[in-house]
Amino acid sequence: MKGLSILGSTGSIGSQTLEVISDLDLDYDIIALTANRSWEKLAEQVQQFEPELAVLMNEEAAQELKYKVSGLQTEVLTGKEALIRAATAEEADLVINSLVGAVGLVPTLEAIQAQKDIGLANKESLVIGGELVMSQVEEYGCQLLPIDSEHNAIFQALAGEKLEDVEKLILTASGGPFRGSSSEDLAEVTVEAALNHPNWDMGGKITIDSATLMNKGLEVIEAHWLFGIDFADIEVVVHPQSIVHSLVQFKDAAVLAELGLPDMKVPIQHVLTYPQREENALSRLNLAEIGRLDFEEPDLQTFPCLKYAYQAGQQGGTMPAVLNAANEVAVAKFLAGELNFIEIPELIASVMVKHKVVKSPSLEDVLAADNWARAESKKEGENFC
């Protein structure tokens, strides 16, 4: 039996991870579960799986959880140190990091240093700290298994292949709910409309990132670090059906792709059972029923966040951390009704242009850039009110 810690267990990926384990009766012992403040949902998970440790970042929520599960042996803790303890628990063999945002970087690094294998759904770990993470993966000999459907697709397509034979990676994007819209259309976008993704069931922040195409930009940076491919050789194509999850083109003109219905349980199961495959009851792909698969170039003029992500990745150093932090602040402001949808990329660009890049940054440099960008974004955001 393998030990498993799930960071962000009440979110979309974390919840589906537990569902996959239950549905397939996988041989996992749940060691630790963590959440931000969703104590009621975490309480349900604790009652079902009885982990050794449950962590809530919000102290009041942790007190509610302690009371709710007081009859169980689960230890309830709160705070950043408790989160690190969950990521490095001695009994855990695999750590699923499904935290949202830059907060996921330090737990990823700590888990690697504790020689845990990582199922990575926290793309920000690689976006803001890719050089640090990948160097430590090599040093400590851990497996880093991508959960994002695009990167998991590439990981599968590369099985048994040589990286030197890769000509380019092709990441697919659904285009979000506003594909084909004009800048004038985007000026009228509501929060409710932006949260209505056509294909995927995701959390609020990632859904907004999908609508702006920032999510795909962050995935470009993630792919660069995961697979060691130059940014010039990573392409994005809009594919509204979300059936082709990504492709690899080789130097002999062959192209390999991973296809499937848009269901995150498939890449989650792949990570949980890797390198084996297990039969499941998930819906199967019927191409004749789907009928057609469409592809188009992304509109970088209307959706400039993707362009900014390429620019940040190519500049390197601390610029991706600034891009990510500015985006997190901008999205939070939009969800709070303090920023228009079309102003999200404007705020990000205004912060990026002010940043002086630190090349080959230490962890302290990355965290300092993140803090600076958040403060600057909040200050700049006042000009948009």
So where are the chain's domains?
2-147, 148-264+282-311, 316-385
Reported as type and span, the H/E element at residue 204 is helix 204-212
**Residues in the chain where the model's pLDDT stays below 50:** none
| CB 322 within 8 Å of CB 355 | yes
- Tell me if domain 2-147 and domain 316-385 are identical in fold: no
DSSP line for 88-127? T-TT-SEEEE---SGGGHHHHHHHHHTT-EEEE--THHHH
Alpha-carbon span 170 to 144, nearest angstrom: 20
Topology classification of domain 2-147 = Rossmann fold (3.40.50)
Which pLDDT does position 40 carry in this prediction? 97
CA angle (59, 51, 65) in 5-degree steps = 30
- Give rounded-to-5 percent helix, strand, coil for the chain: 50, 15, 35
> Exposed, middle or buried: residue 182 (CB in 10 Å: 0-12, 13-18, 19+)?
exposed
Topology classification of domain 316-385 = Rna Polymerase Sigma Factor; Chain: A (1.10.1740)
3 state SS of 12 = helix
The model's pTM: 0.95
Which pLDDT does position 351 carry in this prediction? 98
